Amino acid sequence: MILEALVPGHDIPVAVLTELTSLYASQHEFFSLSGDFPDAHDIRPEQVAAALTEEMAHPGAEVLLARSAGRLVGVAITLAHHPDPTDPDPWIGLLIVDARERRKGYGRELAALVEERFRRTGRDATRLAVLDNNPQGLAFWTTLGYETIGHREDRQLGRPCAVLRKALNGRT
């Protein structure tokens, strides 16, 4: 698997946006839980482009495209610094894998690559939030060694979430 970063401040190429829309649309179950799109069964390219443009507008945000054999199989959105200045860790804001590619290890591999990117920049832990109504997501992350450290509402829509953290250097 290779990761490609979308370039902030540039339009997303049409071919890439088509791939991304297909990937997002495959995850209608997740987007039904999250409420990120008006109709999780009808996700449109302009909605995906707007969502990604909004994400990339945050300082230190990256949108990483995960490709296997040239095909887009996943997306991770990371944040180098949380808006809360007391939070020292980088965040994984979103990690999704094409639903048609479930159970092939892409999610684990993508998470490991993101963690390694953080390690290479000297970071020793990472955090993420899982919606309280997403037990499948919570199970995925805890299997990867993430531990729940708190509960709060997300900053964007006020949804209740579990906050998870994983030490990247063996320490907590």
Complete DSSP assignment for 89-143: S-EEEEEEE-GGGTTSSHHHHHHHHHHHHHHHTT--EEEEEEETT-HHHHHHHHH
Q: Which domains does the chain have, with CATH numbers?
A: 2-123 (3.40.630.30)
107-128 pLDDT tens trace? 999 999 999 999 999 999 999 9
The reported pTM is 0.92
Q: Which pLDDT value is given to residue 154?
A: 85
Q: Residues in the chain with pLDDT < 70?
A: 170-172
